[in-house]
Amino acid sequence: MNRHQLVRAIKEKQSYLCVGLDTDITKIPKHLQHHADAVFEFNKTIIDATKDHCVSYKINTAFYESMGLKGWDAMERTLHYIPRTHFTIADAKRGDIGNTSAQYAKTFFETLPFDAITVAPYMGEDSVRPFLEYEDKVAIVLGLTSNKGAHDFELQQTGEGLLYEKVIRTVATWGNADNLMFVIGATQASELASIRKIIPDNFLLVPGVGFQGGSLQEVSEYGMNADCGLLVNASRAIIYAGGNEDFGDDAKEIAMQYQVEMATYLK
């Protein structure tokens, strides 16, 4: 799915919701925990319940890699179960010297056909460039994150403003609005207006709404552009909304609530 198709999906569904499949086997309903394919069965139910109310799914690879081959298989099966009408993100935060990044890009764009992958920019352009060389694929670069540690580096003053501003300004010259997105934490909503002055056209992947306390209203007010330009991710608030056998219905209800609110901001 490319940018044009994503924008069309947002307009048709009146939603810019991304559902995060950060599936922890210890947190899924008890009746599934001993299932041979517990993680995939859980994800399958969540996808079936939410697909009409979201435009994207983000798979946090750490939750799958930690289970070894079984987890990798569950991740691959989950990816292929997601409808191709939805934008798929590998939340893998990769980034290394050029030839290594090229292999990461091959892993998540070819072997696993994700539409996008999160990338750490610390090592510079040659560590990001391989992800930008794929047609209709997107590198989602870490810009301003919502964790406490953002104050250690991202929010430090430099001679050119805050460090994260320099990172975003520099990375934006490596690609374009079709192949570059940026991660901006929802709990940093007050910074979105200034970020939009730097990158008015790029999409922003915004985690932190829901359990982390980010405001969907503020994110939408300060971060939206003419094409919407936002993918707001909610993970735990949706996938763990219910803990019984009807957990899919609970997930659907929360996803629907997000979609209904989003529709009001899109008008």
What pLDDT score does 187 carry? 78
Domain hosting residue 189, numbered range: 3-266
Domain count, the chain: 1
Task: Supply the CATH number for residue 238's domain.
Answer: 3.20.20.70
Question: Annotated active-site positions, please?
Answer: 93
What pLDDT score does 230 carry? 98
Pairing of strands 230-234, 138-144: unpaired
- Residues in the chain predicted with pLDDT less than 50, given as ranges, are none
Pairing of strands 87-94, 116-119: parallel
pLDDT tens figures, 160-194: 899 999 999 999 999 999 999 999 998 777 889 99
> What is the pTM assigned to this prediction?
0.96
What pLDDT score does 209 carry? 85
What pLDDT score does 212 carry? 66
pLDDT tens figures, 47-68: 999 999 999 999 999 999 999 9
Rounded to the nearest 10 degrees, the angle between the axes of helix 3-13 and helix 247-266 is 100
What pLDDT score does 53 carry? 98
